[in-house]
Chain A
Amino acid sequence: AQSVTQLGSHVSVSEGALVLLRCNYSSSVPPYLFWYVQYPNQGLQLLLKYTSAATLVKGINGFEAEFKKSETSFHLTKPSAHMSDAAEYFCAVSHDSLFNQGGKLIFGQGTELSVKP
């Protein structure tokens, strides 16, 4: 079975400060990992994904994440927070990279990011 744990249901940073959102996973098979962002009353937008290529993954809007197998982590970072980054962030894991062959996303609990001016 696979699972994802996001440490911290709420993170608050100042504008311009480093953003660090934590995600740890549990998987009996090599995982495929994803970070999504959700704005109020909207669907999810993919920020980045790890699918067994480079361990440091760069995504949209200046976000990046590093896959660390030894720590079973996939933390999301951004060097400098912007007000528009305030949203809910979800880490997700799948056992298969191909969604039409049984792969499905298991989501973490989410982390709400607040950005103070």
Chain B
Amino acid sequence: GAVVSQHPSWVICKSGTSVKIECRSLDFQATTMFWYRQFPKQSLMLMATSNEGSKATYEQGVEKDKFLINHASLTLSTLTVTSAHPEDSSFYICSAAGQGSTEAFFGQGTRLTVV
């Protein structure tokens, strides 16, 4: 199956700093990428959808100025958490889909801890 790689797997940052998470499709061209947030023992909440070369579409309630998403190429999307605060601590997961794909492939997730 297709492989999606997220980096880093975990990160600890200080409050007020910014953190960038990368999501790469290793063996296919990801025309669409999705970013999710997952709190402990809870479901995945879709944050935004991005299509290559276009601005991301954010779900209601997600601050686009805080969670910056860039999808500049067909194999890479990035999520930048700006001015992170402890409440931003969470598990962030990306998924990617190619042209005409009926399946979205998930990355391993990134555990963000803001101290």
A contacts, CB < 8 Å to B: 32, 36, 41-46, 49, 51, 90, 97-100, 103-110, 112
Contact = CB atoms under 8 A, between A and B. Distances in A.
B97 to A, nearest CB: 3
A100 B106 contact: no
B46 A104 contact: yes
B49 interface: yes
A76 to B, nearest CB: 16
A99 B42 contact: no
Given A41-B111, A106-B46, A110-B43, A100 B102 contact: no
Most buried by B among A104, A110, A112: A104
Interface residues of B, number: 30
A105 B32 contact: no
B77 interface: no
24 contacts: A32-B102, A43-B4, A43-B6, A43-B93, A43-B95, A43-B109, A44-B93, A44-B106, A45-B106, A46-B103, A49-B103, A51-B102, A97-B102, A98-B100, A99-B34, A99-B104, A100-B51, A100-B97, A104-B46, A105-B44, A105-B95, A105-B104, A108-B43, A110-B43
A99 B93 contact: no
Nearest to A32: B102
Contacts of A98: 100-102
A98 B101 CA distance: 6
Given A42-B108, A43-B108, A104 B42 contact: no
B29 to A, nearest CB: 10
Contacts of B97: 99-100, 103
Q: Which of A36, A90, A107 gathers most chain B CB within 10 Å?
A: A107
A104 B32 CA distance: 10
Given A41-B109, A43-B4, 12 more contacts: A36-B106, A42-B108, A43-B107, A44-B95, A46-B103, A90-B43, A99-B104, A100-B97, A100-B98, A100-B99, A103-B97, A105-B34
